[in-house]
Structure 1
């Protein structure tokens, strides 16, 4: 082998020298000892640096600010461990040690998150070969188990309409429920129907069984409620054809109905949906490191890659992420396109949301236990970090509870679990917290607003404690559970089963704050005790605000509409029975009908049959309909499909447009104080009267979805959160 050239050796030596110098500076910054006043001055300097640098745009500046945040956090942890930790057999020492462990976890996740998301790739689509004859064959899998045909039907029709050579696409309905009506539907529309005699390994087993009965090199997977746009394959397949080592092309999971936080919280529609951070930032950051992973739906996979690892992973209940981990270990690559090319239904009720997240937590912790990404061969260091962060994130439940309750150790028990003066605690902790919030706000922009992660985690934390501990001890325990979709809720109610643990937390925090305030006002305290009471009371108050916002999510709103409405402005022509044509524009659409803005030259009777003509994606689509009501310049219509073809046109108009979800990120950039105000506003919903008790009962309520679309969604009172967690 040729020896390394002199310039190469010089460059390598220079790099090592610079790295060593950087490590030395880091050690000095982190470990230098300062008195509280000196540390307070350093904190002011660090935040001043942030304010100056934050005025500049660019990724280089973001990297600098992330490094500044990491250094500040490491300095805080060094001080906590060396100056405040006491090891002795006492309640105070044990509680203090628990808090430090929780803080170490939080800082570790913070650092891993910075590395993961520091440089989002923002990959663009690449064109397919000009010769359509070179486009490959694709099998489309739509797995289902117990979902209703009304939900599955729309997805299947949308898959059939994807813009791809008909001879090179085959849609397959994978029915793990083995239902006759599904078999007849598949036969009616001319798609493949695949079932099996058992449900072993749940969804992963269903997909693996389908692979035995199909043969195309590429497999597109859609959950049965994820409706693809017509352009899905044309946008995604370019990368799969170009890069032969690409095993996966993943796209976002966008939801056209609001999740429980958007629907139940007063300010929920003004903040990004919970999933937007993962699909808008995290997966894009993963893509830079060749670490994007399969999310179970809205993706294309390469069959030969799956064959190499024995098919979809069956060892954990999150078969999607584990499948990609196995593929990455074998040297296969993945890609992520930050373009929403399909949309589905969000979990309608908080209890269902908790059950779904409990399964995700169990599956990711299972991966850490049975196939830890830090260990074993085949992964780059960056891939290990991305997978570790993804799995480690779901260990948040116990640390979150510790953070919420720690101030009560002093306020209720009189235990000083941080052995330092309040001034020192403030001088070290405040820059750590402030810079982590500020830098994350800069990086997350309009994908996640400040303080909302705390709400999301608090909603789940108490239910995930058992899941976390059981899975860590026995990772083989647990089974796949399907998240229910669809239903109605005649009147609003407070879902006690989904929030009762947080009611207990709220009561404890209120008691602690009350005792702290009384002690501050009545008791003659020395200066240090007064400062400690004040600091812990402020901490407990912030915890209470987060817990109350989490409680407000349990105030379920009434939902009497069976289908979601999507706001869309599309030109349409309405042909009346006498041949007169009216020109209008849609205000919103659903699977059952539409509202249109339309100048009415004369009275149009209710029940009047009409034809509605749309021009979508260069195609003319004519849909039969019936007038429900016409007044002023608004006409409400109901679709009147006479055939499968008519149904397909309706699906194409409502869901299949290439730009249907293009404004999914249409939220304002995060401003932490504004976001905190929205948390406070959301708490008001906790005290509103139950819907249905008011005189307005029976009216629907439109809310703005993450895509900027006005939607109506629905919930089904089926199981409490506790029941869902036990089932999962």
Structure 2
């Protein structure tokens, strides 16, 4: 056993070295002295030379994650963390259910899953043998189930009976949530609809104060918003109950039989650097050269675009007039094109090489097919992801539509055309008179017209293109305003509930999509509803607080848990509230105007590829949120006053209203956090990727490496061995495309150990196309992005949004005249929180001391 180091003759020298090391790590003079003396005291009193202590010190970074740099309070922090680790050891994980209980739960869920799958298998077999009999059996079953559900919905219960009823249904939903399969999901929807319909029935029959005009008016407003949400919930379950998950269809073996394709790229005012990538990706398509024509549709009439198109060998079209915006631009080009199919891409969406091979096969399999749509995928962060620091950590805002809703639409043959990343049959386009021009959402209107003429549609969920997201919140809101106005225009001018040519499923899918964009006014009502009681003393729900809790809370619980199971992979819980709150104020007016004057409104082009130089609060966008926040704060103040001086029997209702107001403030805080624009200084967003590569030095030596990220201007590499390279050194980047290797000249931008950043030299057309083929246009580039995201955990999502929202309020206070006080309070709070023990990373595995360690 070795003696403590401080007892050696060189103890003084060792202490001085320790003190200097602490100073270099950022400790103050007093802190470094105190920590050195504490270390000396620890060596004196504790047997640190023993194996267990040595193992703890060896894993110090993992066991003490909050002690990142030396501070004066570290001994106390270490002591508190040690006590925490003794109570809650990192391995095995603490407070787990007994192993026998976990095994019993797994066996039970497997048995229930097998039991629930049997009806599905029997149903499929019966339908194959006797479709008409199976259909009548299904109708009879639905009628019986509907009558039973109606009985459950309308049966009056007292509060005790209602409590037992909702507890039983909640327990059933909680068990079904853990059972895999489609039938448990459908049963959860039934439970959710039963509770929600019962809530709406109770609201209409028992909760309106007909004797007080103010209470009646405010209560009717809330009931209108709740009815809207209830209808959207029912239609949403209908739309997504059974997503189709359509696979690609194979093409004929003989390429000579493949159809000719006109690939069109409309542009108006976008930068040429953005358009180049899309054109080169289009030229890289795995399709016979004589059967593919790429068109650059320039509605800006720019000479540099014409010269670029000539150099790239593609067709260039600039029309003399500019009516009907993008739709008119495409329709003008359709008069010149002759292809059997028309593929359309926004000028910032880069298609993969396999796009046509993955989509065109369905036109051979289904002769009535008019449209094949693929997802819109984005390799840059949208304002929500960038401003909230959530890029690649949570699903994109559009993931719900492209990951679930469109798949559900496909089940009902109601896939929407989305304006890009799609293939349309030319004869079908001719039959409907080209792209629709009557509304500003020409894409959805075009697909509705195709469906009315009997053409079918298909949706392939595999991302086959990727583009740039909107660069600012104001641009994002402008884009959504155009979508909302256009969908309401279609609702007025070509209502899908009426007219000929489409079935019930198609009507409901289109109607639900249009109804979704009318959420502005109901969302604003929800954000201000509790204020009617807190400030105006209006009974918006004329019922005791216990009854409100027993009817409303189960409705919210079942909606949350069912949607978490249904949408968890594409939309995390409670984030939809933030998205809708951000848009509510801005879409309320244009959608209302479009309902009464559908021809009003203009087409606006969504800006892409911009930069944000500074962090700032977009006051122009956030002003409505600030007004709503102020109103809710006033409501909280009235609630506190009424608890102290109001009627005693109203206190439970006041507390419920204040809880609702606090939730609204949390969601509004999340909306405010989005309005804090983060810096965006890259003109070429980086795409994360892991693929083999190599670099060739000027000396001719070749070193293997892994390409970790890339953009149009450079790449990031992980080297197998560290190299001595200087900035601006010339190298060659070697990438593999199929069976051939392609070299790209580059310069070293940064070199740090095994990490290397290269800036690509200017490339000619062939090199640029080759680089696109090796990176952006790879068939597997975007297919795995969605699978990398974590699963939805509702409570974690609520906590995450709460932290973001209240942190946004704190940022607002720091920028106010009270900023100095806030900064001092924040520093004090951070210092106090630094003493709180931290949870050890789940990846940490404690290694017990070995005999060799003990011997040492």
Aligned-pair CA distance for 1:685: 4.5
Q: Does 1:124 align with 2:247?
A: yes
Comparing 631-640 with 256-265, greater Cα deviation is found at 631-640
Deviation readout 1:588-614 (Å, 9 max, x if unpaired): 111111121225665334323222111
User: Per the alignment, do residues 546 and 601 of structure 1 end up closer, same or farther by CA in structure 2, a change over 3 Å counting?
Assistant: closer
Aligned-pair CA distance for 1:326: 0.5
Cα distance in 2 between the residues matched to 1:481 and 1:244: 36
Q: Does 1:586 align with 2:707?
A: yes
What does 1:68-147 align with in structure 2 at a 5 Å threshold? 68-87=191-210, 90-147=213-270
Which residue in 1 is equivalent to 2:562?
439
Q: TM-score, normalised by structure 2?
A: 0.78
User: Per the alignment, do residues 294 and 9 of structure 1 end up closer, same or farther by CA in structure 2, a change over 3 Å counting?
Assistant: closer
CA contact (8 A) 2:392 2:789 kept: no
What does 1:324-363 align with in structure 2 at a 5 Å threshold? 324-363=447-486
Aligned-pair CA distance for 1:358: 0.3
Aligned-pair CA distance for 1:467: 0.8
Of 630, 645, 658, the residue aligned with 1:523 is: 645
Q: Which has the higher contact order (CA 8 A, sep 6+)?
A: 1
Q: Does 1:204 align with 2:327?
A: yes
Which residue in 1 is equivalent to 2:655?
534
Which residue in 1 is equivalent to 2:794?
672
User: Per the alignment, do residues 266 and 8 of structure 1 end up closer, same or farther by CA in structure 2, a change over 3 Å counting?
Assistant: closer
Which residue in 2 is equivalent to 1:559?
680
Q: Does 1:493 align with 2:647?
A: no
CA contact (8 A) 1:366 1:471 kept: yes
Q: Does 1:656 align with 2:656?
A: no
User: Per the alignment, do residues 13 and 205 of structure 1 end up closer, same or farther by CA in structure 2, a change over 3 Å counting?
Assistant: closer
User: Per the alignment, do residues 377 and 89 of structure 1 end up closer, same or farther by CA in structure 2, a change over 3 Å counting?
Assistant: farther
Aligned-pair CA distance for 1:664: 2.3
Give the match's secondary structure for 2:357: helix
Comparing 562-571 with 279-288, greater Cα deviation is found at 562-571
Deviation readout 1:270-300 (Å, 9 max, x if unpaired): 3211011110000011111111110000111
User: Per the alignment, do residues 682 and 269 of structure 1 end up closer, same or farther by CA in structure 2, a change over 3 Å counting?
Assistant: farther
Q: Does 1:427 align with 2:550?
A: yes
CA RMSD of aligned residues (A): 1.9
Cα distance in 1 between the residues matched to 2:403 and 2:295: 30
Which residue in 2 is equivalent to 1:3?
none
Cα distance in 1 between the residues matched to 2:797 and 2:772: 36
Cα distance in 1 between the residues matched to 2:390 and 2:741: 39
Which residue in 1 is equivalent to 2:671?
550
Cα distance in 2 between the residues matched to 1:240 and 1:321: 20
Aligned pairs, how many?
684
CA contact (8 A) 2:261 2:291 kept: yes
Which runs of 5 or more residues in structure 2 are unaligned?
1-129, 816-822, 824-856
Cα distance in 2 between the residues matched to 1:436 and 1:534: 23
Of 720, 736, 741, the residue aligned with 1:620 is: 741
User: Per the alignment, do residues 323 and 598 of structure 1 end up closer, same or farther by CA in structure 2, a change over 3 Å counting?
Assistant: same
CA contact (8 A) 2:491 2:514 kept: yes
Aligned-pair CA distance for 1:134: 1.3
Aligned-pair CA distance for 1:649: 1.9
Cα distance in 1 between the residues matched to 2:434 and 2:803: 48
What does 1:170-189 align with in structure 2 at a 5 Å threshold? 170-189=293-312
CA contact (8 A) 1:249 1:300 kept: yes
Deviation readout 1:474-511 (Å, 9 max, x if unpaired): 01111111001122222111101111101000011111
User: Per the alignment, do residues 452 and 238 of structure 1 end up closer, same or farther by CA in structure 2, a change over 3 Å counting?
Assistant: same
Which residue in 2 is equivalent to 1:704?
none
Deviation readout 1:412-433 (Å, 9 max, x if unpaired): 1111111111111111111111
Aligned-pair CA distance for 1:587: 2.1
Cα distance in 2 between the residues matched to 1:681 and 1:188: 53
Aligned-pair CA distance for 1:72: 1.1
Cα distance in 1 between the residues matched to 2:140 and 2:541: 39
Aligned-pair CA distance for 1:618: 4.0
Give the match's secondary structure for 2:528: helix
User: Per the alignment, do residues 90 and 584 of structure 1 end up closer, same or farther by CA in structure 2, a change over 3 Å counting?
Assistant: same
Q: Which has the larger share of helix?
A: 2
CA contact (8 A) 1:267 1:679 kept: no
Cα distance in 1 between the residues matched to 2:710 and 2:774: 8
CA contact (8 A) 2:384 2:674 kept: yes
Which residue in 2 is equivalent to 1:160?
283
Cα distance in 2 between the residues matched to 1:673 and 1:267: 17
Cα distance in 1 between the residues matched to 2:438 and 2:379: 32
User: Per the alignment, do residues 526 and 268 of structure 1 end up closer, same or farther by CA in structure 2, a change over 3 Å counting?
Assistant: farther
Aligned-pair CA distance for 1:87: 4.2
Cα distance in 1 between the residues matched to 2:630 and 2:456: 50
CA contact (8 A) 1:141 1:222 kept: yes
Give the match's secondary structure for 1:502: helix
Larger radius of gyration: 2
User: Per the alignment, do residues 136 and 90 of structure 1 end up closer, same or farther by CA in structure 2, a change over 3 Å counting?
Assistant: same
Comparing 267-276 with 107-116, greater Cα deviation is found at 267-276
Q: Does 1:636 align with 2:757?
A: yes
Cα distance in 1 between the residues matched to 2:789 and 2:166: 32
CA contact (8 A) 1:143 1:206 kept: yes
User: Per the alignment, do residues 672 and 605 of structure 1 end up closer, same or farther by CA in structure 2, a change over 3 Å counting?
Assistant: closer
CA contact (8 A) 1:623 1:649 kept: no
Cα distance in 2 between the residues matched to 1:9 and 1:498: 56
Deviation readout 1:191-233 (Å, 9 max, x if unpaired): 0001211111111111111110001010111000001111111
Give the match's secondary structure for 2:245: coil
Which residue in 2 is equivalent to 1:233?
356
Comparing 630-639 with 484-493, greater Cα deviation is found at 630-639
Cα distance in 2 between the residues matched to 1:379 and 1:486: 39
User: Per the alignment, do residues 638 and 680 of structure 1 end up closer, same or farther by CA in structure 2, a change over 3 Å counting?
Assistant: same
Aligned-pair CA distance for 1:331: 0.6
Of 373, 388, 392, the residue aligned with 1:265 is: 388
User: Per the alignment, do residues 686 and 220 of structure 1 end up closer, same or farther by CA in structure 2, a change over 3 Å counting?
Assistant: farther
Cα distance in 1 between the residues matched to 2:785 and 2:611: 26
Of 500, 511, 514, the residue aligned with 1:377 is: 500
Which residue in 1 is equivalent to 2:579?
456
Which residue in 1 is equivalent to 2:536?
413
CA contact (8 A) 1:626 1:638 kept: yes
User: Per the alignment, do residues 377 and 87 of structure 1 end up closer, same or farther by CA in structure 2, a change over 3 Å counting?
Assistant: farther
Give the match's secondary structure for 2:360: helix
Aligned-pair CA distance for 1:616: 3.4
CA contact (8 A) 1:249 1:337 kept: yes
Of 390, 398, 408, the residue aligned with 1:285 is: 408
Which residue in 2 is equivalent to 1:392?
515
Deviation readout 1:556-589 (Å, 9 max, x if unpaired): 1112222101111221121222211121112211
CA contact (8 A) 2:381 2:391 kept: no
User: Per the alignment, do residues 645 and 429 of structure 1 end up closer, same or farther by CA in structure 2, a change over 3 Å counting?
Assistant: same
Cα distance in 2 between the residues matched to 1:180 and 1:456: 40
Cα distance in 1 between the residues matched to 2:133 and 2:285: 55
Cα distance in 1 between the residues matched to 2:316 and 2:137: 62
Give the match's secondary structure for 2:690: coil
CA contact (8 A) 2:436 2:446 kept: yes
CA contact (8 A) 1:263 1:269 kept: no
Q: Does 1:62 align with 2:163?
A: no
Cα distance in 1 between the residues matched to 2:175 and 2:755: 52
Give the match's secondary structure for 1:147: coil
Aligned-pair CA distance for 1:513: 1.2
Deviation readout 1:216-275 (Å, 9 max, x if unpaired): 010111000001111111111111232111111111100000111111114565321101
Q: Does 1:503 align with 2:503?
A: no
Give the match's secondary structure for 2:184: helix
Give the match's secondary structure for 1:270: coil
Of 471, 482, 487, the residue aligned with 1:364 is: 487
Cα distance in 2 between the residues matched to 1:530 and 1:187: 75
